[in-house]
């Protein structure tokens, strides 16, 4: 199998010395997952990790350990979405799903 031609999208044109922070976080999921994801995830992280004294932007998330769940950060809408990897369709978990029995361990790239 051969992948198609890789073309350049966009790249950071900022100062090459701008720091990128690698932040490990751990938290339990929502007691009642809201439809379309948990809003305000970036502010929640900044408050917990930096005491609200920072407004770092989340660039990407990587899951380290999340049980059967697959988290995805919707950067445009600042929401943490959770998909159920235990199903063949990998559908988003349903509204009201209790995720508080699962510990989500993530690595975040922030600037």
The reply to whether 31 falls in a domain is yes
Domain that holds residue 88: 21-110
Is the per-residue pLDDT at 107 higher than 80? yes
Structure tokens belonging to residue 55:
């407004």
Is the per-residue pLDDT at 94 higher than 70? yes
Please classify residue 55 by burial: count the beta carbons closer than 10 Å to its beta carbon, then call 0-12 exposed, 13-18 middle and 19+ buried.
Answer: exposed
The reply to whether 12 falls in a domain is no
State the Rg of the chain over Cα: 16
The reply to whether 6 falls in a domain is no
The reply to whether 71 falls in a domain is yes
Reported as a single tens digit per residue, the pLDDT across 1-60 is 556 565 556 555 556 667 888 989 999 999 999 989 999 999 999 888 888 777 889 999
Reported as a single tens digit per residue, the pLDDT across 29-42 is 999 999 899 999 99
Per-residue pLDDT, 15: 62
Reported as a pLDDT band with limits 50, 70 and 90, residue 105 is very high
Reported as a single tens digit per residue, the pLDDT across 69-85 is 999 999 999 999 999 98
The reply to whether 82 falls in a domain is yes
Number of separate domains in the chain: 1
């Amino acid at each position: 199998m051969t992948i198609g031609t890789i073309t350049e999208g966009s790249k950071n044109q900022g100062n090459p010395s701008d720091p990128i922070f690698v932040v490990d976080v751990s938290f339990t999921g929502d007691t009642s997952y809201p439809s379309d994801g948990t809003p305000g995830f970036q502010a929640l992280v900044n408050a917990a990790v930096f005491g609200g004294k920072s407004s770092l932007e989340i660039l990407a998330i990587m899951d380290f350990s999340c049980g059967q769940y697959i988290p995805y950060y919707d950067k445009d809408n600042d929401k943490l979405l959770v998909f159920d990897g235990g199903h063949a369709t990998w559908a988003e978990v349903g509204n009201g799903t209790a995720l508080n029995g699962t510990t989500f361990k993530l690595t975040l790239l922030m600037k």
